[in-house]
Structure 1
Amino acid sequence: MTTQTDHAEISTLVHRFFLALDERRFTAGWADGFVTRDTRMETPLGTSHGADAVRATEEALGRYARTQHIATGIVTDADAGAERAKASWNALMTHVHHDATLNQRDDVADPLFTVGGRFEAELRRGADGWRFSRVTVRPIWTKGQPPLGIGEQEVRGGHGTGQ
């Protein structure tokens, strides 16, 4: 059973990670406080590992002018003193398109692309605390259009209901 301390530390890591994504804190080494060096990120757009996962995250967010990621319902599973844990949470991810994207679409283009989904993660505890070793994003629904060059089926991972 997860201790209160481990649950609080993992929950804080989730919220800090989402905040870093939204504030675009992408200085050199920014991800070291969130992921292991061998992390695996699985999204509807593909799977990446290690430094490639960090670059893929930065690239994905660069497709938008702004984002807001909200996590709720965080569930953690770690035995007391364990070096590994699992976590899952619901997420609401709102993406604001760049003006250039909107200009390339018709006059009724929605400035927002919103995704409701579920995150699942595996974590490892190191000297500096918990870090994500695997993160999987599972969209449940979407509203609006994804960025140019990304197909709606790709983003929905084959299971979204859409607009």
Structure 2
Amino acid sequence: MTGSPGPGLGELAAEVARLSDIAALNHLIDRYLAGLDEGLASSASTFASTSAAGSDSDSDSDSGSGSGLGSGPGSGSGFDAAWAASLFTEDVELLFPVGSHQGLTGADGFLREIMERWGRTHHHGSLASVEPDGDLAAVSWSLIASHVHFGSPLPPQPSAYFQIGGRFTGVARRTPDGWRFARLRLRIVWSTGSPPGGVTEVDARTLEASPPVPEASPPINTLTRHMSSEEEPPCPPHSRPNSSAKSSRRSSTRGWTSATSRPPTAI
């Protein structure tokens, strides 16, 4: 007497493929969160070393031996085009509390400008919900993100920080190079600590429980600082100076466009 036949080879192969996709999607999420913190640490290290080298090279500038160092935050940081291409599709849509961006081009700069408003960060993600369906997958996970202000003492001294809790939701797509995020939205649920100077609001779409319907013509790259049209942007109390950035007001909105403005404050 024989028992019920087990699953066929085809069913086993399909299950192995599904589990492989789930593992790859979880790895994509882990790489994204770790990359935010590690990229900032790399950027801070590069900024410090190039600033010191730039000071040392001042005396050599007349002789033409300058090396072009000291070009400001972001030069040679972990946030570069290769990093972005390892995470996002060509048509990626990003919706965060302080701004939005569409397209792989410029995604590295968009995230760099947000992250470099902090001395250091720690992004802690929960176990993710991952639902692959063919070449698309719905993904979501909870987040606690801690942002430490510049000038804050190192542990074990208490840090000056801003912390948020929320949830990422999005869609990933299979590409020839593996799974990539096609859309990411961060919903904010709570915050505590000292926010960056000048930030009084966040994008209302990131406070809603349900993801918003995509706009017909989403902004290509908008980093928002919510303030009245008459208010001058205050300098964040713990921000690193960035003399290389030039600012300009947008005439019709309550924000800044990243292509022409100083790096935004971030949440």
Band of TM-score, shorter chain: 0.7 to 0.9
Identity in percent: 33
Which structure has the larger Rg over C-alpha atoms?
2
Q: Is it true that 1:45 corresponds to 2:93 in the alignment?
A: no
CA gap of 1:126–1:26, structure 2 versus 1, over 3 A, is same
**Corresponding letter in the other structure for 1:126:** T
Tell me how many residue pairs correspond in the alignment: 148
Which deviations, in whole Å up to 9, do the C-alpha atoms of 1:78-114 show, x marking residues without a partner?
12xx111110000110101112xx7xxxxxxx61111
Which deviations, in whole Å up to 9, do the C-alpha atoms of 1:9-68 show, x marking residues without a partner?
111110111111101122342211000121100011122111344322111101101111
State the partner residue of 2:127.
73
Contact 2:164 2:189 in 1 (8 A): yes
Range with bigger deviation, 27-36 or 86-95: 27-36
Partner residue of 2:89 out of 7, 31, 36: 36
State the TM-score, normalized to the length of structure 2: 0.51
In 2, the alpha carbon distance for the partners of 1:89 and 1:158 equals 16
Contact 1:88 1:120 in 2 (8 A): yes
Partner residue of 1:142 out of 151, 170, 191: 191
Q: What's the C-alpha RMSD, in Å, of the aligned pairs?
A: 2.3
**Structure 1: gaps of 5 or more residues:** 103-109
In 1, the alpha carbon distance for the partners of 2:128 and 2:85 equals 22
Query: Alignment partner of 1:64: what SS?
Result: coil
**Structure 2: gaps of 5 or more residues:** 1-14, 40-77, 153-158, 209-267
Q: Is it true that 1:27 corresponds to 2:80 in the alignment?
A: yes
Greater relative CO (CA pairs within 8 A, separation 6+): 1
Shift of 1:74: 0.2
CA gap of 1:137–1:89, structure 2 versus 1, over 3 A, is same
Query: Alignment partner of 2:197: what SS?
Result: coil
In the TM superposition, 1:5-154 aligns within 5 A as 5-24=20-39, 25-50=78-103, 51-79=105-133, 82-99=134-151, 111-151=160-200, 153-154=201-202
**Corresponding letter in the other structure for 1:148:** G
